[in-house]
Amino acid sequence: MAGVFLTLEGLDGAGKSTQARLLAAFLEGRGIGVRLTREPGGGLPEVREVLLHGKALSPEAEYLLFSADRSEHVRKVILPALQEGLWVISDRYLDSSLAYQGYGRGLPLPWLLEVAKGATLGLKPHRTFLLDLPPEEALKRVKDPDRLEGLGLAFFGRVREGYLRLAEAEPERFVVLDATRPTEALQAEIQRHLLPLLP
């Protein structure tokens, strides 16, 4: 594949969407073609509403819906863009499910990874930027909580711990950033870490 696949991860309120937009503008300013996307809803937009604002789901059903969306996202958005030579920036990807449904909801990671293998065709990001934020700060920043954001401090604590464990297991892919820092400082650090990948 000619393109580069980047993801932004972290608790709700960490600033992923803002950093994704700033990063897209930076790359476009250097003449690099970019596809900016997000999960959930990148593959099946109608699923986003069900997952974030619909009625309560079992953790298993929740994960399978995320996976169905991700499967379409990979096949119809991410892979075609990478094959075109674009840089794909996704606000959330598989690591979100491992952190939220795995560590947060308590679903077994081996099962999550087995399902993910088929859903993602084994596609992994070249770099994942984890915007790390204390759960208390994340909850303060969330103004209008969706179904997952309403699960409270203990849940967010487990999710953050999950993210940090995932990052520890793959240090060559993850870049952990302190999301309490100013927006501009975070963006500068993200850009610095991407310099070796730039054409």
Contacts of 129 (CB under 8 A, 6+ apart): 6, 7, 8, 9, 19, 174, 175, 177, 190, 193
For the chain, the 3-state helix, strand and coil shares in percent, each to the nearest 5, are 55, 15, 30
Asked if residue 152 belongs to a known ligand binding site, the reply is: no
Asked if residue 13 belongs to a known ligand binding site, the reply is: yes
As given in the structure block, the two tokens for residue 115 are: 């399902």
Asked if residue 144 belongs to a known ligand binding site, the reply is: no
Asked if residue 104 belongs to a known ligand binding site, the reply is: no
Which runs of E-coded beta strand occur in 22-126?
A: 34-38, 87-91
Instruction: Determine the Cα–Cα distance for residues 78 and 37; give it in Å rounded to an integer.
Output: 8
Asked if residue 76 belongs to a known ligand binding site, the reply is: no
Asked if residue 16 belongs to a known ligand binding site, the reply is: yes
Instruction: Determine the Cα–Cα distance for residues 120 and 117; give it in Å rounded to an integer.
Output: 6
Instruction: Determine the Cα–Cα distance for residues 3 and 51; give it in Å rounded to an integer.
Output: 30
Instruction: Determine the Cα–Cα distance for residues 55 and 42; give it in Å rounded to an integer.
Output: 21
CB 27 within 8 A of CB 196: no
As given in the structure block, the two tokens for residue 14 are: 């960490």
Asked if residue 15 belongs to a known ligand binding site, the reply is: yes
As given in the structure block, the two tokens for residue 68 are: 């169905």
Asked if residue 118 belongs to a known ligand binding site, the reply is: no
- Binding site per annotation, positions for ATP: 10-17
- Binding site per annotation, positions: 10-17
